[in-house]
Structure 1
Amino acid sequence: MILWGTVATLMSLVKTPAQLLGMRFLLGVMEAGFSPAILFIISTWYRRKEQSKRFMTFLSAGILSGAFGGIIAGAIVDSLDGAHGIEGWKWLFIVEGVSTIGCALIAPFFLLDYPATTKRLSPEQRALAVARLQADGITSRSADGEVASISHWRAFVSAVSNWRVWWLCVGYMTIIGCYSLSYFNPTLVQGLGYKGSEAQYMTVPLYVVAFAIAVPTCILADRIPSCRPVMAMIVLMLGALFCALTAGIYAYIPRYVFLCFINSAIWTANPLALSYASVSLGPLDPETRAICLAMINGMGNLAQIYGSYLFPAEDAPKYLVGFGTYAGLLTFGAAIYGTAWLLFRKFPFQSEH
């Protein structure tokens, strides 16, 4: 995170488009491992029936940033523009970069190591934490602190040869491919008749509704963990339905309501998919599980590449291509998770080690 924040701060110094692209590439490299690392940490501490709401807690930062990030960024730019002779957009990079570095410096005081090795727990607490995971079939470091794992290469081979990983990669790509909708929410809201700062403020309810739906859904998913893929399938089918309705109905109020539920479907399906991936790959050693989660997360984020081209300005205000594509993607994703639920039950995981 320190390198991530440093690169973000240095982006305030760019002077040419080429420099901006280069620094943005470095920023992506530095932050790429953050989400997979957090997902792995959660998976090493919590039992299967406890993970959905924890993933949702982590992802809620994305929902809240979508709701208020634009407003906060605008406030930073407007209030600091010209201060000390520095332009407002540069201050945005400086403030966000320095804030990230500050969070990185205090993070070690809050984040714990593996349950069996952390020094922040007593021996009795460590033994209890390990016993909880072992009783649930989740492997971690052994009680003596040694890693019960395989070589780095074998862990990689084990991950890439696991057919379940690739199946879940495809499913997750259909969800994250629709995340690019958040880039266009202000534009879509403007197309509904809202202008200027009013349009920015009217994007907030899209995320508030998503948060209100996603949290209780993930709590319910932890109560019936075997139904996570079915719940993901239902959520994605509802998202596809609202995308289809948005492509065919252009009245302002209904379209705004549909946008709320499309965002809700995407943000709700994400933690359901991640928690299902975490618990459905079998009793893998920690390193293999980390690689599997990183693969799913990385492949999912690649899907946003094409998403940024689905809402060109010439398609306004209907955006039939974008919403039609999203409807197809979410329908395909629902089929993937429904099929996964059947296949994973028919072919139970068998450890190769």
Structure 2
Amino acid sequence: MATLQDEKVEDVCHLEQTETFVIDPVEEKKVLRKIDLYLMPSIFILYLFSFIDRSNIGLAKVAGMQKDLHLNSNEYYLAVIMWVIGYAGAAVPSNMILSRVRPSYYIPVIMFAWGAIAAGLAGVKTGTQLLVLRFFLGVFEAGFNPSVLFMISIWYRRHEQSKRFMIFLSAGILSGAFGGVFAGAITSRLDGAHGIPGWRWFFLVEGVATVGASLIVHWFLLDYPSTSKQLTPAQREIASRRLFLDGITHQKTEGGDLSAIGHAFVKVILNWRIWMLCPAYMTIIGALAISNFYPTLVEGLGYTSTNAQYMTAPLYLVALVIAIPASWYADRNPHLRGYLLNFTLILLGGLFSELTAGILDFKARYIFLCLINSAIWTGNCLGLSFTSTALGGCDTEVRAIALPLINGCGGLAQLYGSALFPAEEAPRYLIGFSVFAACFVVGGMIYLAAVFLFKNFPFVRSSTLENDE
């Protein structure tokens, strides 16, 4: 009786024997459109809910949560980082589970859980309850982002990934933009309804909406190229072969020998390339922590709490306008992706963070915040596509561990990012913006070094990672 490992070897051998197989471009485009039709709207909508549920604490703060729960600056910081701790700790284990099960089952389950917890935030009475729920919100959301990164890496060719990452991350950008508008509408219209403050309605409405979405998303999510039921057998073959011909491994990994996961985990930990990508990505995601303080920063420019929620929207819309053409250009010129990433982080991120630290004019600072946010989201998209394409030749289990490890390390960076904007530093926040400027520059230089090193010492196409190549 053949084992799963035997089946995987047979699949690889079959594809190697047909490596020169020419795929009909017309048929490939049809398959790609079908993949996009199922996968991209699903992950877009899910990330929209995910990002709102994780970042709405900043909007709730200016809507009265901090006052009602009697939170000081340090307690609010703890509430922010408890999500980070839960997320960083659960990211790798969650994706290790994902690599052995069907994503179309696993993702709806964790989504239902985090939606229920997000709704539960509406009922917190003390700071301690807020901390506990934020921790478990991070634990269950930890499985989503890395799973999407993994799925994009096993469904799309290298020159197709930046645009897809942009579509995925644009949900976060739009949720940041319209989340503020949505929060302003809820807190202004429902505040006091049935004796419930507006910020509690905000948590409740968004959490219940997430739970509702989790109940139907199963029928729209794809699994693996060789097993997904939404594709015909002929389409599955095209989906698999086109990736193989692009040097991307994508074998089905459901079930099987769990020792393979442990072996892959050790290889990932010992590979020096991973430890270049981790700190580089941390410089981007560490800066993303500023999103928890956008309402506070904008409120400091002279707006009321409700208007401050509305005025966070342009920060994200500008980011979307810049990130879309940058991602398109990166896919058109994949050999320049690393250089574009370096330019984005150093010039757009580092320069304008330093200018924000030194200039106190409110209008100028608002414009600089728009550009800093653009650097974060554009850098995030380019950083993910750079990492995913670099890992393309690795075994599926290796990629399933490496991607959440890098993503989880990025999440940990928000621990320091969230600590850089205490109320005592208002309104200038000199230390916070100066640290972000330095981090952007360091991140840009690491990615630039990776461009040259990975050309000479690439991730090898194998079921394991070579440690010393």
TM-score (norm: length of structure 2): 0.71
May I ask how many residue pairs the two structures share in their alignment? Answer: 352
Instruction: Tell me how far apart the structure 2 counterparts of residues 349 and 175 of structure 1 sit (CA, whole Å).
Output: 23
The question of whether the paired residues in 2 share the 8 Å contact of 1:140 and 1:148 is answered with no
Report the counterpart of residue 439 of structure 2 in structure 1: 329
The question of whether the paired residues in 1 share the 8 Å contact of 2:180 and 2:313 is answered with no
Report the counterpart of residue 96 of structure 1 in structure 2: 206
1:262 CA drift (Å): 1.0
Report the counterpart of residue 67 of structure 1 in structure 2: 177
The question of whether the paired residues in 2 share the 8 Å contact of 1:4 and 1:30 is answered with yes
Q: Give the superposed CA RMSD.
A: 2.2
Instruction: Tell me how far apart the structure 1 counterparts of residues 190 and 370 of structure 2 sit (CA, whole Å).
Output: 33
Deviating more after overlay: 188-197 vs 248-257: 188-197
Report the counterpart of residue 356 of structure 2 in structure 1: 246
The question of whether the paired residues in 2 share the 8 Å contact of 1:206 and 1:263 is answered with yes
Unaligned stretches of 5+ residues in structure 1: none
Map residues 96-245 of structure 1 onto 2, 5 A cutoff. Answer: 96-141=206-251, 151-238=260-347, 239-245=349-355
Instruction: Tell me how far apart the structure 1 counterparts of residues 121 and 424 of structure 2 sit (CA, whole Å).
Output: 31
1:271 CA drift (Å): 0.8
Partner letter of residue 181 of structure 1? I
> Any idea what the Cα deviations from partners look like across 1:6-41, whole Å, max 9, x if unmatched?
222233333322222112211111111110011111
Instruction: Tell me how far apart the structure 1 counterparts of residues 362 and 390 of structure 2 sit (CA, whole Å).
Output: 42
Report the counterpart of residue 117 of structure 2 in structure 1: 7
The question of whether the paired residues in 1 share the 8 Å contact of 2:181 and 2:313 is answered with no
Unaligned stretches of 5+ residues in structure 2: 1-110, 464-469
> Any idea what the Cα deviations from partners look like across 1:22-74, whole Å, max 9, x if unmatched?
12211111111110011111111111111111111111111112112122123
> Any idea what the Cα deviations from partners look like across 1:281-300, whole Å, max 9, x if unmatched?
25111121011110011100
Partner letter of residue 221 of structure 1? A
Report the counterpart of residue 78 of structure 1 in structure 2: 188
1:277 CA drift (Å): 0.6
Matched, 1:296 2:375: no
Instruction: Tell me how far apart the structure 2 counterparts of residues 2 and 51 of structure 1 sit (CA, whole Å).
Output: 28
Matched, 1:270 2:380: yes
Sequence identity, in percent? 57
Closer/same/farther in 2, CA of residues 258 and 15 from structure 1, 3 Å limit: closer
Report the counterpart of residue 315 of structure 1 in structure 2: 425
Report the counterpart of residue 367 of structure 2 in structure 1: 257
Report the counterpart of residue 43 of structure 1 in structure 2: 153
Partner letter of residue 404 of structure 2? A
Instruction: Tell me how far apart the structure 2 counterparts of residues 94 and 204 of structure 1 sit (CA, whole Å).
Output: 22
1:118 CA drift (Å): 0.9
Deviating more after overlay: 193-202 vs 59-68: 193-202
The question of whether the paired residues in 1 share the 8 Å contact of 2:114 and 2:140 is answered with yes
Instruction: Tell me how far apart the structure 2 counterparts of residues 31 and 259 of structure 1 sit (CA, whole Å).
Output: 27
Partner letter of residue 273 of structure 2? R
Instruction: Tell me how far apart the structure 2 counterparts of residues 211 and 312 of structure 1 sit (CA, whole Å).
Output: 28
Instruction: Tell me how far apart the structure 2 counterparts of residues 219 and 149 of structure 1 sit (CA, whole Å).
Output: 39
